[in-house]
A and B are shown apart, each in its own frame.
Chain A
Amino acid sequence: MDISLSGLLRRHGLIVAFLVFLAGVALNADAFLTAGNILDVLRQVSITGMMALGVTFVVLTGRLDLSVGSLLTLLTVIVVDQHNSAGPFAAIVMTLGAGLAIGAFNGILVGFIGLNALIVTLAMLSFLQGLVLFYSGGSNVNIANAQDTWFAVFGRGDFLGIPVPVILFLLGALVAGLVLQFTTLGRRIYGVGGNETASIFSGIDARWTVFWTYVISGFTTGVAAIIMGSRVMGAQNTIGQGYELTVLAGVILGGTSLLGGSGSVWRTVLGISMLGFIQNGLLLLGFAYYVQWLVTWAVIIIAVWIDLGAKRGRIFA
C-alpha cells in the first residue's frame, strides 16, 4: 500500500540499514564483498547460526534457552572424546543423543512442570559446565588422528566450492523454516507464543509444544557441536562460554520478539549473519577486535527500537 521511502524504512528498516552498512564497508575495503570473504563470514557464523535456529523455536513460544552455550561445550567435548574411543560415527550418534536428552530435560522442567524458563536454563548452564569438568577431568581433549578422519568434513570440508558447515547451516535453516511454516507443530508454536491461554482453549497442548522446542534446541546445538569439534579438532572446557548470549543477540537482532509469537527463521539467519558481517567488516576496516562489541550494542538497541516503534506506530513508549 505504501511504497514511499518512509514506508519502506518502517517495514524493512533493518535490511536497508544493513545494506547501507555493507555498501559503506565495501567502498572502503576491496576484499569485503568478494565471494571468498562472504563464504568465510558464513563459515564463521555457521556454528552460532545452527544454535540460533533451535533457540528461535524456543523464543517463538515466549521462552528462553540460556543453556545452549554450556551444552555446546559439553557436546563438543563428548564428540571429540568419543571420536577417539568409539569412532566418528558412534561419536556423532552419542552427541546428538545427549543433545536431545538434555533438551528434553529442559523441556520437561519448563513445559510440563511449568518452571520459569530463564532460571531453569540458567541452572542448566551451571550444571552442564560442572558436567563438562566432571567428564573431561579439567583437561583439554584433542582428536588423535586429525589428518585422516572423515569426521573433518563437517567443519573443514568443501562441497562444490561451498564450505560444508555453511551448507549444513543453510539446509538446517530451510528445514526449520519449513517446519515452522507448514507443520502443525510450527503453527502451534506461533499459537502458544502469541497467546498461550487462547491456544490452550483451542485445544493445543502447550506443554508438549514447549517441550518439543527445547528438544529441537538441544538437537541443533548437537549439530553445532559436531561442526565445532570437526573444525577445531579438539575441545577446551570453556569453548562455548558466552555463546548463549551471542546466539540470543542474533535472534533478537533479526527481530524475533522475546515475548513470543512473532519472528521467523529467515530473520534469525539475517540477524546472525549481520553480527558476522559487522565483525568482519570492522576488522577489514582496521578496527580493533572489540570495537565490534560497541557497534553490536548500538545495532541491537537501534534495530529493536525501530522494529518496536514501527509496530507501535510511534517512537517513544
Chain B
Amino acid sequence: MSHASSPMRTGSALHIALSWLLRNHIWVFLALTVLVFSLASPYFLTLNNMGNLLTQGAFIGILAIGMTLVMIDGEIDLSVGAILALASALAIGLQDHMGVWPAVILGLLSGAALGFVNGTLVALSGMHSFVVTLGGLIGIRGLVFVYSGENALMVQDFSYTEIPEVYLGPVSLTAMIFLALALFFQWVLSSTRHGRETYAVGDNIEAAHDSGINVKRHKIINFTLCGTLAAVCGILLSMRLGTAEPNAGKIWELWTIIAVVLGGTRLQGGYGSLWMTIGGVLTLAVLRNGLRLLNTPNYVELMVMGAVLVLALALDKLLNHREGS
C-alpha cells in the first residue's frame, strides 16, 4: 500500500516539505493563482471577497468530499447533481406540510437512501459504478420532476433563507460546514479503520478482500456517505436560494469530478486525500471568482477550466513518472 499517509523515508525537513509539495502540487498552483489575481485586481484579496469565495466554493466542495471517498475506492458517482436537486426539492416542498426541520431531515434521508441504492447495486451486481450512477443521474432527475412537476418550488416562510446567514468574521455558515466536513472526513481517511480500508480497497480490491475486509459493505457505506453529502449540499443550496428548481445541480457532478481530479486524487483509486480535494475546490473557486472580478466573459472561464484540467493531469503524469523511475 502506498498512499498519502504512509511514512516516508527519514530525511531533512526540507526533503519532507519538498516531497509533500510534490504530492500536493495543487497548493503551489493555488498560491500562484491567488498571487496573480491579487496583483491583477484590487478587489480580489479582500476579507470580504475571500469569504464570498469560500461560500461559492463550498457547494461543489461538499459534493467533492463524498466524491473523494468514492474515488479513492476506485469508483465514481455521477448522480450527485440529481440527488442534490431531489433533496432541495423535498426540503422546500415538504416544509409547508410538516415543518422545516422534519422536511430537511427527510431531504437528507433521501440522499442517504439513494446513495445506499447506488452502493448496493454496485456491490451486488458487480457493475461498474459509472454505469450504475449514470442510470441514477437520469432516473433521479426523473424523480425530481415527478415530485415537483416541472415547477420551481418556492419557500413560503422566508426565515428559512436566514438559517445559513451566520458569519464568523467573513466566513459563512455554509463555508464552515464545508471546512468542518472536509476536516472530519480527512480524519476518517487518515486515522480510522474505515479510512485505511478505503485506500486498501481502491489500491487492490482482491488483496483487500483476501485480508478480511468486507469490500461490499465498505463500498455501500462510502456511496451512502456520498449521497448524504450531496443532500447536505442540496439543502444548503435551497436555503441560500429560497427556491428549488428541478434542474438545479445539472452537470455539477462534472464540476465536482474536475475539482477532485484537479486536487490530485486519482480516478484509478487507492490514492488521494481531502487536503488535495480542498486544494482543488479552492483552486476552482479562485479561478471562477478571479476571472469574474477581472470582468472576463463567461467563455474564458470555461476555456481556462478545460486547459487547467488537462495541464493538471499532464503534470500529475509527469511527476508520477519521475517518482516511479
Contact = CB atoms under 8 A, between A and B. Distances in A.
Contact of B131 (A122, A258, A288, A316): A258
Chain A binding surface SS class = helix
A113 interface: yes
A48 B123 CA distance: 31
A248 B134 contact: yes
Contacts of A297: 135-136, 138-140, 142
A250 to B, nearest CB: 11
Contacts of B314: 113, 115
A135 B134 CA distance: 31
Identify which of A119, A241, A252, A309 gathers the most chain B CB atoms within 10 Å of its CB.
A119
Contacts of A28: none
Interface stretch (B86-94, B158-166, B275-283, B303-311): B303-311
Interface residues of B, number: 48
Given A115-B317, A120-B310, A130-B299, A304 B137 contact: no
Contact of A131 (B128, B135, B136, B299): B299
A123 B254 CA distance: 9
B299 A134 contact: yes
A291 B300 CA distance: 37
Interface string A235-246: 000000110010
Nearest to A307: B127
Interface string B130-152: 11101111111111011000100
B145 A293 contact: yes
A300 interface: yes
Given A115-B313, A119-B267, A133-B297, A291 B142 contact: yes
A123 B310 CA distance: 7
Interface in B276-325: 297-307, 309-310, 313-314, 317
A130 B299 CA distance: 4
B145 A290 contact: yes
A249 interface: yes
Contacts of A35: none
B131, B132, B297: residue with the most chain A Cβ atoms closer than 10 Å: B131
A291 B303 CA distance: 35
A296 B138 contact: yes
A60 interface: no
B257 A296 contact: no
A252 B134 CA distance: 10
A258 B125 contact: no
B309 A133 contact: no
Contacts of B317: 113-115
Main secondary structure of the interface of B (DSSP, over half): helix
Contact of A125 (B216, B254, B261): B254
Contacts of B146: 288, 290-291, 294
Nearest to A129: B302
Contacts of B303: 126-127, 130-131, 134
Contact of A293 (B128, B139, B258, B304): B139
B310 A109 contact: yes
Given A120-B310, A308-B126, A317-B124, A294 B139 contact: yes
B34 interface: no
A206 interface: no
Contacts of A293: 138-139, 141-142, 145
A20 interface: no
Nearest to B135: A300
Contacts of A127: 302-303, 305-307
B173 interface: no
A68 B317 CA distance: 25
Contacts of B299: 129-134
A116 interface: yes
A39 B299 CA distance: 39
A259 B216 CA distance: 21
Given A116-B267, A127-B302, A293-B139, A312 B258 contact: no
B121 interface: yes
Interface in A274-307: 288, 290-294, 296-298, 300-301, 304-305
Nearest to A241: B251
Given A109-B310, A120-B313, A245-B137, A126 B124 contact: no
Nearest to B117: A301
A79 interface: no
Contact of A316 (B124, B300, B313): B124
A300 B251 CA distance: 20
Interface in A109-147: 109, 113-116, 118-120, 122-134, 138
A125 B305 CA distance: 10
B135 A301 contact: yes
Contacts of B251: 241-242
Contact of A296 (B130, B139, B304): B139
16 contacts: A119-B257, A123-B313, A125-B254, A126-B305, A127-B303, A131-B299, A131-B303, A132-B299, A245-B78, A249-B134, A252-B131, A252-B134, A293-B138, A300-B131, A316-B124, A317-B124
Given A134-B303, A258-B130, 10 more contacts: A114-B317, A119-B310, A130-B301, A242-B251, A293-B141, A293-B145, A296-B138, A298-B139, A305-B121, A316-B124
Interface of B: 78, 121, 123-128, 130-132, 134-143, 145-146, 150, 216, 250-251, 254, 257-258, 261, 267, 297-307, 309-310, 313-314, 317
Interchain residue pairs A-B with the least CB separation, the first 6: A297-B139, A317-B126, A127-B306, A293-B142, A130-B302, A130-B303
Interface of A: 66, 109, 113-116, 118-120, 122-134, 138, 241-242, 245, 248-249, 252, 258-259, 288, 290-294, 296-298, 300-301, 304-305, 308-309, 312, 316-317
